[in-house]
Amino acid sequence: MKRRFLYFLLFIFHFSFLLAQQTDAFVPPTDLTTSLLICQPGRTFYSGFGHCALRLQCPSRGLDVTFTYALDDNLANRIAMFRGNGAGRYSSVKTEAFLEEYVRDGRGVVDYPINISVEQTRALWQILDGENASPRYRQYNFLHTNCSSMCFYALERVMKGEQIVWNGLTDGCTGTYRNFVWHVSAGRPWTGLFWSTILGSTGEQKGQLEDKLAPMLIEPVITQATIQSKTDKTQASTRPFIEGEPTRLVDHTLTYPHNPITPTVVFGLILAIAVVVSLLKLKRSTSRQVNKSTSLRVEGAKKIRNEVPTSRMGLFDALLLAFQSLVGLFIFYLSCLSHMVGAAHNWNLLLFNPLPLLLWLCFRHRKWYPKVYPLYAAVILLYIVSWAWQPTVTLPLVLFALALLVRIATKIYKVKKNS
């Protein structure tokens, strides 16, 4: 009996020793760190605003992983983004492999260590691993779910009871979405014109700050940001958002050459061509009228005066209407048919729409068709005047509207002269 009891005690001690060894084997590491990678803009359209990613490290386990949120990179998905159902998701890659693309393109990358606890980093790693393993895609859109906003949304999920306080942000972050678009498009006027033109009434909203924390806007002020308790906002509960000195991982060697062919220059040239074409057509029409009045009989002259002077269209007018219609169809699709965030209720549809071309194709031989000109001139004039209060109306678009107005005014003059 005593021997059995002794064996039982030995078994208990042995089991406790094994359990202690097993418990020690699963002690989580304490050398976890989180940092924010800010990558400089590239030359392509979709990389023009820079990139943000979260870098998580555990040196004791030899782990150095970068988690990034981006649009699923293929042509079909880029097109799907303009339908409002582009597929975006988190993905993970070893940091060394992540940096290879930026080294190749000469786009600078800086590592900013974030001042969060080991427990928060561990929770963040679990969340991002779960997102990476999930087959579910998220809807990607330019305003609300982009690379930078999704980085900060992930951080907010683990910073319970705390918030990031930004100091020194420019109007690009604190203003409207339209201000944001113009700020992040600085130096790329065509990109800025594109995004500003397709933005509807949402462009005048301020929205959430996290949506506008683009890499190139936060990098100059990121060292001024702090982490603060939501309940206790005293100085004692506030700490810097960045812990330690940033590290440059990739040197920025990419250059962005200045493009003198800006939208203002191009549309100003279109307006100048419209003026020249109108003057030449008026001069030619006057000389033809004089020749015909001296050579034709009275009946023939009356027939000419009763003709509708719109049965033919010059090449320049055809190009204007074609461009206007194509842009109008694109804006109409984004504003009325797609689910793209921020594109609804677009004032630019007043100028860019296919209705003028459709009216010319279907009704140009009708006697009442010249009455369309004054009405359409009034619509364009309203659009030009709205430049004073509509932020979506920009100088290049006003110049294009003036080119249309010049051509319409010329046609109105010719109709009155022939009547």
CATH of the domain at 92: 3.90.1720.10
Q: Two tokens at 17?
A: 């020793």
Q: Which of 254, 191, 223 is nearest to 41 (CA)?
A: 254
The answer to whether residue 14 sits within a structural domain is no
DSSP-derived secondary structure for 291-349: HHHHHS-HHHHHHHHHS-TTS---HHHHHHHHHHHHHHHHHHIIIIIS--TT-SS-GGG
3-state secondary structure (DSSP) of residue 247: strand
- Total domains in the chain come to 2
* Domain match, 64 and 194 both: yes
Residues 219 and 275 in one domain: no
What range defines the domain where residue 298 resides? 263-418
Q: Are residues 221 and 282 both part of a single domain? A: no
Summarised one tens digit per residue, pLDDT across range 145-176 is 788 888 999 999 999 888 899 988 888 888 99
Contact 187, 249 (CB under 8 A): no
24 assigned to some structural domain: no
| pLDDT for 14 beyond 60 | no
What is the tens place of the pLDDT at every residue in 262-276? 999 999 999 999 999
Between 257 and 253, where is the model more confident? 253
**Cβ neighbours of residue 35 under 8 Å, at least 6 residues apart?**
54, 55, 57, 111, 112, 113, 114
> Are 238 and 347 part of one and the same domain?
no
pTM of the model: 0.81
How far is residue 155's CA from residue 136's CA, in Å, rounded to a whole number?
20
User: In terms of domains, do 239 and 200 share one?
Assistant: yes
Q: 158 and 294 share a domain?
A: no
Residue 344 located in a structural domain = yes
200, 228, 250 — which closes off a domain? 250
Q: What phi-psi label fits residue 320: left (phi over 0), alpha (psi between -120 and 50 degrees) or beta?
A: alpha
- The answer on 268 and 233 residing in a single domain is no
Do 95 and 240 share a domain, yes or no? yes
Give the type of residue at 44: T
Rounded to 5 degrees, φ, ψ at 296 are -95, 160
Q: What percentage of residues in the chain have a pLDDT greater than 70?
A: 85
Which comes out higher in pLDDT, residue 219 or 27?
219
228 and 107 within one domain: yes
* Whether residues 240 and 373 fall in one domain: no
Residue 258 falls inside a structural domain = no
**pLDDT computed for residue 350 by the predictor:** 95
Note whether residue 4 is domain-resident: no
- Strand, coil or helix: what is 248? strand
End-of-domain residue from the set 203, 223, 250: 250
Domain final residue, candidates 250, 273, 296: 250
Q: Is 178 exposed, middle or buried (0-12, 13-18, 19+ CB in 10 A)?
A: buried
Burial class (CB within 10 angstroms; exposed 0-12, middle 13-18, buried 19+) of 349: middle
Report angle CA 116, 118, 122 to the nearest 5 degrees.
Answer: 105
